[in-house]
Amino acid sequence: MGFSLFSAKNRIINLVLNDHSIRFLELKQTNPPIAQKWSERFLPPGIIVDGKIVDSDSLANILEQCIEEWKIQRRSLRFIVPDPLVIIRKVSIPSDVQEDEIKGFLYLELGSTIHLPFEEPVFDFHRLTNNGKTQDVLLFAAPEQFVMEYVKLFSSLKLESVAADISPLSMYRLYHLNRSNEKEVLFTVQFDLTSVNLCIFDGSVPMVMRQFALPFNIEDWDIKLGLSGVIEFIYKGASEELVIQFEDIFKEINKLVDYYRFSLSNEKQDVTKFLVNGDHPMLKAIYDEMKERFEVPVEMLSLPADEKTKGSIPTNHLLSLGLALKEVQ
């Protein structure tokens, strides 16, 4: 799963861009691979908005500085398609459509029987069930225009895009490293400074995803680069504002749990675990609150046991690490 736009290359760097940051991580090519280098850069508001590049000149200038500082000139890269651009949708197609014909069939049906909120998507799919008359497939789609703006920007800076991914899959990939294949319904919560991504996995398949923007006023935060090289955000605004934001997200979590239970699984399955990650400065408090509110277990995404002794990767780089493991495992 992912977006099959590109071919594979070696010595790949991994970039995660969102509305407020650029993050870079590189693996050391050992067996198993381990994180070798990572860094990040704060993005001022207005350069990327809701995952879309708004000020391409400023972003290009900042990326150019990062490339020089991080010494990643002329490298191949993977990147995560920003969450606000991605749609996951289950669609039914005739059962006799063969696997190698599905992509072409979906392309022909887009805009007629399959409706998306944008034209000219880049997409991939994952087969689900086949009852003999119809088969269900999961459609992963994003507007090609906005995805290609990132690809063209990277190319203009001599970085070649070779793979794209979505954040829940990167999060799941790291979570599942060195774990058994026990059947579970995992609800991932990516709680970042300016957005929240919610996704429910049935086994290894992301069945539904929702994205929510969080209000962000830069004047309410002190932002500095810590001694460890991690950007630190200290909130100085009214605490009630954050409480309201968190309450709204908890309500959306409950809605999505109910949607999965009653609409997707027909009351046959429930969410069995929450997995929390993100770069929000209050992430530990969010995690603690979720443990109080929800009856199912809540787990914080962390490094695999054999990785913890090899370097202290900051929590906000775990998504980058999950991306780096794409096509490595």
Give the integer Cα–Cα distance in Å for 69 and 86.
Answer: 30
Per-residue pLDDT averaged across 232-242, rounded? Answer: 91
Asked if pLDDT for residue 327 goes beyond 80, the answer is: no
With 0-12 CB in 10 A as exposed, 13-18 as middle and 19+ as buried, what is 153? middle
**Long-range contacts, 199-203 (Cβ 8 Å, 24+):** 199/88, 199/168, 200/256, 200/260, 200/264, 200/271, 201/168, 201/172, 202/264, 202/265, 202/269
- Taking the C-alpha atoms of residue 94 and residue 165, their distance in angstroms, rounded to an integer, is 28
- For residue range 146-180, list pLDDT tens digits in order: 999 999 999 999 999 999 999 999 999 999 886 76
Cα separations in angstroms, 118 against 19, 42, 124, 137: 21, 29, 15, 19
- Residue 299 is which amino acid? E
**Ranges of each domain in the chain:** 12-85+143-324, 87-142
Alpha-carbon distance of 19 to 39, in angstroms, equals: 17
Nearest CA among 212, 214, 247 for reference residue 233 = 214
Q: Helix/strand/coil (H, E, C) string of the chain? A: CCECCCCCCCCEEEEEEECCEEEEEEEECCCCCEEEEEEEEECCCCCEECCEECCHHHHHHHHHHHHHHHCCCCCEEEEECCHHHCEEEEEEEECCCCHHHHHHHHHHHECCCECCCCCCEEEEEEEEEECCCEEEEEEEEEEHHHHHHHHHHHHHCCCEEEEEECHHHHHHHHHCCCCCCCCCEEEEEEECCCEEEEEEEECCEEEEEEEEECCCCHHHEEEEECCCCCEEEEECCCHHHHHHHHHHHHHHHHHHHHHHHHHHCCCCCCCCEEEEECCCCCHHHHHHHHHHHCCCCEEECCCCCCCHHHCCCCHHHHHHHHHHCCCCC
Homologous superfamily, domain 12-85+143-324: ATPase, nucleotide binding domain (3.30.420.40)
Residue 182, pLDDT above cutoff 80 = no
Read off the tokens for 205.
């398949």
> Are 77 and 13 in contact, with CB atoms under 8 Å apart?
yes
CA distance 158 to 196: 31
Least confident of 117-126, 140-149, 161-170, 284-293: 117-126
Lowest mean pLDDT of 63-77, 220-234, 258-272, 300-314, name the range. Answer: 300-314
The CATH code belonging to domain 87-142 is 3.30.1490.300
83: exposed, middle or buried (Cβ count in 10 Å: 0-12, 13-18, 19+): buried
pLDDT digits (tens, 9 = 90+) for 47-102: 999 999 999 999 999 999 999 999 999 999 999 999 999 999 989 999 999 999 99
Percent of the chain with pLDDT over 90: 70
- Flag the least confident range among 20-29, 31-40, 121-130: 31-40
